[in-house]
Every structure is written in structure tokens, then in C-alpha cells.
């Protein structure tokens, strides 16, 4: 008796080959037959008219903390994602000594915009080593997790307070290599580092104090396992990005490792810069290096209210300082004080076009409900005011709970982004899943890929798009037995409607520990998601109790 | 499309603006240092390090890319 048979779907197997109509049989968590299946099964899923594909893989996430209270990594699964990669950008929650916990929380708060109260209310700190962390999350996993080890975490463990002061000594480098080796043996997929991020004190994160010799040593250790290094590079500058591509290429060639950098944004007016970067990527692939550039599918949208810091204000030091380091009362006092307000308005003048385009998306009071959906420019006209004054006034009227949307801030040229996504050396990713929860929804990028770039613009065929987020990702990251519908492979499968798959509208949802909120999007057109051979989500009935998620690639087996 | 990178280096231990200018630009001095800083605003304009930090008076980090020539003309 089979466990599950998926009948009459159009099988798009992840290889990029044309889809075909057929059945898939699943037993003991694996695909046991593809073609026509007549044998009896415990459960039959009718997929007629639907696409049956490998589960999607999201390679750039920050679900590290969420996995401690939510083994589904909601709402990833309902968007068809069956494997996530946390631990990007040098930040992982293991290995982590007890005395460094608040340092990591501070960095997650500053860089990934994750509320401190969510850590306070949602995390029971009962691990230190990477292996202990994996055991901790593994007991409750519905989704597969391919975890990276953060370079900053490695430095903190080995160097303590010196981690964000200086380069490591040779002895400390060896200790970091030993520590990284133990993490890889426990099941880590690779290591992440950063060349741009600042910590909670607005100082460079620990990994930025690493010398090239230290990074080289750690990549040598990755090379022992053939594992990947991920970097977040100076994505705002073409020449710096090219320098990092060259650096990664040398590490890839020297140590035989895959490398990936993220993100690359397409900014209006700088298509030449993007073309130069892609020419350099192509050049390095021609040399035999593996330097995968991650590109996200969604345009840049940022939402905010003035109660919590937003990266939108990062270049406005007075604004950012008050919102980031002040209390709620401090923010209200600053906005209410005539002199301080005038100073803030003067500083914000350089972004006047941004404030004018902002849209009021949510308020609490009845009096302002009629304004929701209007731009600040429109509201300013109604009130005889200016957009920046309207933003301040509405924030005060709404007790800082007026929410604004800065839509289409960049990466929104469909033709150019589509060209990039289809490029053979571009890796679709950079969702930032689980991070920036009060700035934008990091969910639904896969639905957006199919709607915008397959159905609407035709930049990719359905088969190409599926391959990009399944087999390509599994191969780049060394995730075994996933990413392809093939007999003997683990049954991670997403069934969806090619005609309707999309991301739903963004909305504010209260489901974060500490009664916190975050921006999310529901999925559209995802019918069924199977992980490890068990149905984890169905559109009609929602999530199931299945806990078949695995840590990938998992512990190293002795030869 | 040209993919020629700008000439750059990764700092060695103890490198400062003055030392890099002296070593790489064929002589130091204020003019050379100023030129180097103008090609590396991503480092020069960095927020100041905390008082007492080893980087309080030298913003260059070991992981930085330091350009040794100006941007190519568009």
C-alpha cells in the first residue's frame, strides 16, 4: 500500500524539461514511482489541471529565532516553500555562549529589524553549541532547514569581546576553523559573512574585523566539506560589488567551494552597473569559479510607523537616532516640540519626493479612516499642509500607530529584473524571510515570480522558473535528494495552479511572541504542500500537524 | 560590456591611509592621502568608532576593499 498518490497533475520536475501529465507515488517519505500509478494508496490527491513540482527552496532567510517558536516558519510553507536557509549575513543563533546572547539579539534587532520583545517572549535559551541548537529546533520541524553558521557568531565564541575590535591571531583562526568544522559535521550547510552590516551600537559587526587570511582559512575548512559561503556585499556600489565577486571567485577556485552574494538590486538609471556586474560574474564562471549572484523577485516596498525604527530613515541621523534609541515617549516629545520638529523637517528635506509618494495604509482612529489609501501629497492638499508635516501630524494623532507605505522604491523595472532572473548565473533568492517584519512582507516571492515573470512578462517559462527555485538551488547549496521529482528522492512537493499562483496583498498580522505584529502576505494558487512525504499544508484545510522537516544536509556521515 | 575591475587591495595588518598612500601611490603626503580617501568614501565616511576602540583614529577594517584609482569614466 502506497502512502500517497498524486494523480493526473502536470509534472514539472525541476530539471527544466517540458512538463508532462502523470502520477507520482510516495511511500515512506520518498518518491517511489512517476508515470501511471494504479496501485492502492492511503491517500489520493487529485491534481488534474494543476502543476506538480518539487518544493521550493528559499536560500536567504533569517528564521533562526522564529524556528524556536514556530517549526513551520509560517507562512513559508503555504507559499510552496519546503526548505529554508537561515543564518545568512554572518548572523546565526549558534554557536552562542550564554554571555553573548544579548549581543546577537541586538544585532538581529538592528540589522534584521526583529523586535527584542519577540526574543524575550518567544525564546527559551537552552543551547550553546550548533549541535544543541539543531537538536532544539529539530524536535518541532515541519519545514526543512539548511542552516548557515554565522561568521560573527564564530568570532564571538572564540574571541569574546575582542571579536569586534581586531583581526584574529593565527591561533584564534585555528580555533574558529575547528569550531566551524564541528558545525559542519553537525549539519550546517555552510557559513555566512558580511561586509556591510552594523551592530546595535552602529559599529561594524564582528566579521568585518576579519582579515582576508581569516576568511581564507575558514573557506579552507568549508572546502573540506565542499560547502558554500554566503556574503552580503556592498550592494549599493558597482565597483565594490565587482571587487567582492573577484574575491569570492578566488576563494571558490582555491578551495573548491560554491559561493553566493546577495542581494543585487536593479536601480533605475543604473542598468550599466548591473550589466558590468553580470559581465564580471560571467567572466568568473568562464574561469571555473562558482559565484552565484542572488536576485529577489519582488520590488522594494517599505512600510513603517514611527513607533519602531525603519531602515528608510537610516540616512537621516536625527530621525533614526530618536526612533532607534529613544523611547516611545521620546519620539512623541520630539515630534511635539516645535524646534525639534523644525530640525527634523529640515533634515528630511532631501527625501521630499519620498514623503510625497508615501501612502497612508493603516490608522486606529475613526477620524482618519477616510484618509487611508491616499498619498501624503493628497492628504497635504486636503489639509493645506506639506507631506512631511502630514506624516508627523498623523503619527501624533494616531499615537504613533499611523502606518505608511513607500511602494515601488526600486528593483521595479520588470523587463530588466526579468532579464536578470532568467540569467543562467543568477540565483533567485534574497527574500530575507522572517526578517524586517515591521518594514515589509518577506513572503510570497515565489508566487510573485510566477505571476509577474512567467504569466505576465514571459521572462521565464514555467519550467525555467520552477528549475530556478528547486533543482538549481539544491545543486548550488549542496542540498541532497531535493529539488527534483525523481524516483528515490525525498518527497518534497508543491502542487499549484499555474493560472492563479501569486502573492496576496500585504497586511499587518498579530502573531509574533509578545503580542507583536508583522507584515505578511497570504499565498494564492498553492493547492498542497508535501514535506518529507507528509502533507503539511492544503489550501482548503490549512496546516497539518506533520513534523517531517529535516536539517539539511544533516550530520556528516563517516566514510 | 567591460568587466574590468578598479584596482584595489585588501589592507594588511596596521595599514592606515598614510601607510597605504606611501606604499601604493609612490609616496605619501597630504595630497596622496586625500586622493586615497576620496576614492574610498565607503570607508572615509564611515560613522566614527567608539572612543577607546583600536579603530578610533583609523577607520580602515581588515575586510575593507581599498581602491587605488578613481572610478572609471561613465
Query: Rounded to whole angstroms, how far apart are CA atoms A438 and A182?
Result: 35
Q: Is the pLDDT of residue A308 over 90?
A: no
What would you measure as the largest C-alpha separation in chain B, in angstroms?
A: 46
- Supply φ then ψ for residue A19, to 5 degrees: -70, 160
**Nearest CA-CA partner of A501 in A541, A449, A556, A430:** A449
pLDDT of residue A559: 58
Q: Is the pLDDT of residue A557 over 90?
A: no
Segment B13-34 mean pLDDT: 92
Number of domains in chain B: 1
pLDDT of residue A204: 95
A-B interface: how many C-beta pairs under 8 angstroms? 70
Q: What is the mean pLDDT of chain A?
A: 96
pLDDT of residue A152: 98
Domain assignment present for residue B34? The answer is yes
Segment A43-72 mean pLDDT: 97
Lowest mean pLDDT among A41-55, A512-526, B47-61: B47-61
- Assess B5–A contact: CB distance below 8 Å, yes or no: yes
Strand duo A144-145 + A81-84: pairing: parallel
Segment A110-123 mean pLDDT: 91
Domain assignment present for residue B72? The answer is no
Per residue in A147-204, pLDDT tens? Answer: 999 999 999 999 999 999 999 999 999 999 999 999 999 999 999 999 999 998 889 9
Domain assignment present for residue B16? The answer is yes
Domain assignment present for residue B73? The answer is no
A508: which 3 cell numbers?
A: 499587518
pTM: 0.94
Q: What is the domain range of residue B31?
A: 8-47+57-67
Alpha-carbon torsion (A215, A220, A223, A225), positive or negative:
negative
3-state secondary structure of A519: strand
- With CB atoms and an 8 Å threshold, state whether B63 touches A215: yes
Per residue in A448-482, pLDDT tens? Answer: 999 999 999 999 999 999 999 999 999 999 999 99
- Per-residue confidence at A34, pLDDT binned at 50, 70, 90? very high
- Assess A198–B contact: CB distance below 8 Å, yes or no: yes
pLDDT of residue B72: 83
Per residue in A237-285, pLDDT tens? Answer: 999 999 999 999 999 999 999 999 999 999 877 899 999 999 999 999 9
- Per-residue confidence at A325, pLDDT binned at 50, 70, 90? confident
Domain assignment present for residue B62? The answer is yes
Q: What angle do CA A531, A150, A308 make, to 5 degrees?
A: 85
Selecting from B5, B50, B67 the residue whose C-beta is nearest the C-beta of A203 gives B50
Per residue in A176-192, pLDDT tens? Answer: 999 999 999 999 999 99
Domain assignment present for residue B37? The answer is yes
- Assess B30–A contact: CB distance below 8 Å, yes or no: no
Q: Break chain A into its structural domains and give their ranges.
A: 306-407
Per residue in A375-399, pLDDT tens? Answer: 999 999 999 999 999 999 999 999 9
Amino acid at each position: 500500500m502506497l502512502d500517497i498518490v498524486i494523480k493526473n497533475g502536470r509534472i514539472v520536475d525541476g530539471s527544466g524539461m517540458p512538463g508532462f501529465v502523470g502520477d507520482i507515488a510516495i511511500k515512506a517519505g520518498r518518491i517511489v514511482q512517476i508515470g501511471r500509478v494504479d496501485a492502492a494508496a492511503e491517500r489520493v490527491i487529485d491534481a488534474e489541471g494543476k502543476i506538480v513540482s518539487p518544493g521550493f527552496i528559499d536560500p536567504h532567510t533569517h528564521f533562526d529565532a522564529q524556528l524556536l517558536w514556530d517549526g513551520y516558519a509560517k507562512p513559508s510553507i503555504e507559499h510552496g516553500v519546503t526548505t529554508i536557509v537561515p543564518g545568512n549575513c554572518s548572523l546565526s543563533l549558534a554557536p552562542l555562549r550564554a554571555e553573548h546572547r544579548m549581543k546577537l539579539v541586538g544585532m538581529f534587532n538592528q540589522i534584521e529589524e526583529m523586535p527584542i520583545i519577540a526574543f524575550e517572549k518567544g525564546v527559551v535559551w537552552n543551547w550553546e553549541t550548533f549541535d544543541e541548537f539543531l537538536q532544539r529546533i529539530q524536535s518541532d520541524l515541519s519545514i526543512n532547514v539548511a542552516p548557515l553558521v554565522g561568521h560573527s557568531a564564530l568570532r564571538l565564541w572564540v574571541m569574546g569581546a575582542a571579536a569586534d575590535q581586531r583581526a584574529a591571531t593565527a591561533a584564534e583562526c585555528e580555533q574558529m576553523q575547528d569550531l566551524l568544522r564541528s558545525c559542519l559535521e553537525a549539519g550546517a550547510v555552510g557559513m555566512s559573512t558580511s561586509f556591510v552590516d552594523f551592530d546595535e551600537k552602529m559599529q561594524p559587526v564582528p566579521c568585518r574585523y576579519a582579515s582576508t587570511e581569516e576568511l581564507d582559512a575558514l573557506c579552507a575548512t568549508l572546502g573540506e566539506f565542499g560547502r558554500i559561503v554566503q556574503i552580503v556585499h556592498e550592494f549599493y556600489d558597482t565597483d565594490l560589488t565587482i571587487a567582492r565577486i573577484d574575491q569570492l571567485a578566488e576563494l571558490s577556485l582555491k578551495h573548491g567551494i560554491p559561493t553566493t552574494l546577495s542581494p543585487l538590486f536593479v536601480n533605475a538609471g543604473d542598468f550599466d552597473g548591473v550589466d558590468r556586474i553580470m559581465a564580471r560574474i560571467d567572466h568568473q564562471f568562464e574561469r571555473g569559479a562558482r559565484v552565484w549572484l542572488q536576485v529577489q523577485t519582488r520590488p522594494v516596498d517599505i512600510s513603517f510607523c514611527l513607533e519602531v525604527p525603519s531602515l528608510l530613515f537610516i540616512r537621516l541621523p536625527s530621525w533614526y537616532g530618536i526612533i532607534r534609541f529613544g523611547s516611545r515617549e521620546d519620539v512623541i516629545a520630539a515630534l511635539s516640540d516645535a524646534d525639534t520638529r523644525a530640525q527634523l523637517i529640515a533634515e528630511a528635506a532631501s527625501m521630499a519626493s519620498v514623503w510625497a509618494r508615501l501612502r497612508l495604509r493603516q490608522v486606529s482612529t475613526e477620524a482618519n479612516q477616510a484618509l487611508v489609501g491616499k498619498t501624503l501629497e493628497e492628504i497635504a492638499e486636503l489639509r493645506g499642509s506639506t507631506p512631511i508635516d502630514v506624516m508627523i501630524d498623523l503619527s501624533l494623532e494616531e499615537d504613533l500607530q499611523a502606518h505608511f507605505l513607500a511602494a515601488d522604491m526600486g528593483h521595479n523595472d520588470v523587463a530588466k529584473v526579468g532579464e536578470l532572473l532568467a540569467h543562467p548565473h543568477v540565483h533567485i533568492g534574497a527574500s530575507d524571510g522572517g526578517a524586517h517584519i515591521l518594514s515589509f512582507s518577506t513572503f510570497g516571492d515565489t508566487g510573485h515570480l510566477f505571476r509577474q515573470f512567467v504569466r505576465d512578462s514571459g521572462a521565464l517559462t514555467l519550467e525555467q522558473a520552477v528549475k530556478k527555485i528547486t533543482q538549481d538551488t539544491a545543486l548550488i547549496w549542496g542540498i541532497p535528494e531535493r529539488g527534483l521529482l525523481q524516483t528515490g528522492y525525498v518527497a518534497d512537493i508543491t502542487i499549484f495552479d499555474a493560472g492563479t499562483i501569486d502573492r496576496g496583498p500585504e497586511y499587518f498580522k498579530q502573531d509574533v511572541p509578545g503580542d507583536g505584529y508583522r507584515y505578511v502576505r497570504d499565498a494564492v494558487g498553492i493547492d498542497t504542500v508535501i514535506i518529507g512525504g507528509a502533507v503539511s499544508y492544503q489550501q482548503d484545510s490549512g496546516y497539518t500537524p506533520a513534523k517531517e522537516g529535516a536539517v539539511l544536509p544533516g550530520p556528516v556521515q563517516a566514510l | 560590456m567591460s568587466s574590468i575591475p578598479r584596482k584595489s587591495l585588501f589592507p594588511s595588518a596596521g595599514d592606515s591611509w598614510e601607510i597605504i598612500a606611501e606604499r601604493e601611490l609612490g609616496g605619501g603626503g597630504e595630497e596622496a592621502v586625500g586622493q586615497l580617501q576620496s576614492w574610498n568614501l565607503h570607508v572615509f565616511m564611515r560613522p566614527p568608532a567608539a572612543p577607546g576602540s583600536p579603530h578610533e583614529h583609523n577607520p580602515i577594517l581588515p575586510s575593507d576593499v581599498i581602491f587605488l584609482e578613481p572610478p572609471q569614466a561613465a
